[in-house]
Amino acid sequence: MLNKGILNPQINNLLARVRHMNSLLIADRGFTYYPAVETIDISLVDDIPTVLQVLEAIKPVFDVSQIYMAEQFLLENTQSVQDAFIKSFGKIPYTFEEYHAMKNRVPGAIGIIRTADTIQYANMLLVSGRVEN
């Protein structure tokens, strides 16, 4: 029985199947549904859990080499929200790109973890692999 770390068996199963250079999307509550991409919905009520909470939970067990987010995130959110996201990335390289360009990457993802985040454009596509220090 798991008693620490990620306890959700579907998320553990999904993370175990991600290989080098595969991608995984952590989505806000309003992100488009992709029937062909496995989606694990962990939304409960508004903002429980959030995208950043999920990112913090998986970072210890998931090597992320790149994060993609929509540049609209920068236009729709306050500086303090932006700073919180960028701080959470640590040394992981990140790119803000046009929303549809980011969405075009999703069909190639191993899976989607849908949160209840209400922050506009909070979706982040994580590419697996180690970051060189």
Domain tally for the chain? 1
pTM assigned to the model: 0.94
What are the two backbone dihedrals, phi and then psi, of residue 80, each rounded to the nearest 5 degrees? -65, -40
Is 74 part of a structural domain of the chain? yes
Amino acid at position 86, single letter: I
* Letter string b/e over residues 76-90, b meaning 16 or more CB atoms within 10 A of that residue's CB: ebeeebeeebeebbe
Is 133 part of a structural domain of the chain? no
Contact 77, 84 (CB under 8 A): no
Is 4 part of a structural domain of the chain? no
DSSP letter at 129 equals S
Which helix (H) or strand (E) is 52 found in, with range?
helix 51-58
CA distance 96 to 85: 12
Is 43 part of a structural domain of the chain? yes
pLDDT digits (tens, 9 = 90+) for 6-61: 999 999 999 999 999 999 999 999 999 999 999 999 999 999 999 999 999 999 99
Is 3 part of a structural domain of the chain? no
78 alpha-carbon distance from chain centroid: 20
Residue range of the domain that includes 104: 21-128
Is 2 part of a structural domain of the chain? no
| CATH code for the domain in which residue 98 is found | 3.40.1650.10
pLDDT digits (tens, 9 = 90+) for 110-127: 999 999 999 999 999 999
Tokens of 116: 């209840």
Is 11 part of a structural domain of the chain? no
Is 9 part of a structural domain of the chain? no
